[in-house]
Amino acid sequence: MDHNLALVLGGGGAAGNAWAIGIVAGLAEAGLDLTETADLVIGTSSGATAAAQVRSGIPAAELLAAIVSAPVRPAGQHGPGGPGGPGARGAQNQNRPPSLPAETVFARMRAISAAATSAAELQRAMGAFGLESDAVLAPGAAQRRALVASRLPHPEWPERPMIVAALNAHTGELTAFDRDSGVELVDAVTASTALPGMAPTHDINGTHYINGGVRSTENADLATGYANVLVLTPLTRRSQTPPPPGQFEGLRRLPGADLDSQVETLRRQGSRVEVITPDADSVAAMGTDQMDLATRAPSARAGYAQGRREAARLTF
């Protein structure tokens, strides 16, 4: 294999983004600085924002400090968006973009997930749902793009390889954006974080895109060809426990679209793959609502502690 190490950052909302940055900072403190050693960084949904942060040139310790030192927001407060960052379920006011009732969105996602007979069918149906939801959500598109831009350390693509995963809303097909795509970084990340029903589809040159997590929370198969692959996935372990009432349990993963299948394929191709999921302390810190801004600081701290412990088993 020509490449050494790919870092895959899965989606997981505000809590998941903070946890991933905490893991990266903890690993760096223990001697494995992925901001320097990763040859490729792949980001999906909130992991796309984390990827831009990891590739920014800002030391991991500073990325962590920015999260834990941010003003504490009241529990239950959400920001606009989808799981690419804070969610769109907070109380409405004149400064918030339009949104759909969470219960309505979750019910539609469950119905799409239950009816799909293949991953491709699920992706097309979710794309159609996103385009349909634009009738209500599209007026907030410019505001949402500006919010995503405010989360990025730099507006330009990094020099070192980075991929942002999104789906074509018209076809359901995967799009892997990079610096050679001719698309601005903020547009790629906005597309990757546009969860149907929660955020408007993102229009790039007439093509609309939705959250890359609809296909796969991680899209780890984009690391094909790398000798070593490290996957940070905020949601995989959390999804093993049913959420409380009112929380979405996630889309059904059909064969080939789940992380286990992707990891197995990578290993068959000769890659060494390590997966880090939230440990018990991190799960507790992330709470029951990964969109909640109040979870960011505790999730980052728990991720940092976990990262320091995980470093002992990683020898990249």
In this predicted structure, the answer to whether residue 239 has a pLDDT above a threshold of 60 is no
Predicted confidence at residue 120, as pLDDT, reads 96
Contact 141, 152 (CB under 8 A): no
Q: Which domain CATH number covers 288?
A: 3.40.1090
Q: What angle do CA 267, 175, 189 make, to 5 degrees?
A: 105
Domain that holds residue 301: 5-70+99-311
Query: Is 88 contained in some domain?
Result: no
The pLDDT value recorded for residue 121 is 96
In a domain, 133, yes or no: yes
Question: What integer pLDDT is reported at residue 99 of this predicted model?
Answer: 86
- Residue 94, in any domain of the structure: no
**pLDDT tens per residue across span 66-114:** 999 988 665 445 543 343 333 333 333 446 788 899 889 999 999 999 9
In a domain? residue 113? yes
Q: Residue 112: what are its φ and ψ, rounded to 5°? A: -65, -45
Residue 92 counted as domain residue: no
Give domain status of residue 124, yes or no.
Answer: yes
Number of C-beta neighbours around residue 261 at 10 A: 16
Flag whether 265 is in a domain: yes
Could you tell me the end-to-end alpha-carbon distance of the chain, in angstroms, rounded to an integer? 15
Average pLDDT, the chain: 90
Average pLDDT over residues 250-278: 92
Instruction: Give the CA count within 13 Å in the CB-facing half-sphere of 175.
Output: 28
Residue 170 lies in a domain: yes
Instruction: Tell me what the mean pLDDT of segment 2-14 comes to.
Output: 91
For 143-154, write each residue's pLDDT tens digit: 999 999 999 999
Return the amino acid letter for 112.
I
Tell me, what's the pLDDT at 255? 80
Helix (H) / strand (E) element for 296: namely helix 296-310
pLDDT at 122 over 50: yes
Question: What is the total count of domains within the chain?
Answer: 1
CA 100-194-186 angle, to 5 degrees, is 135
Phi and psi angles of residue 162, each rounded to the nearest 5 degrees, phi first: -150, 140
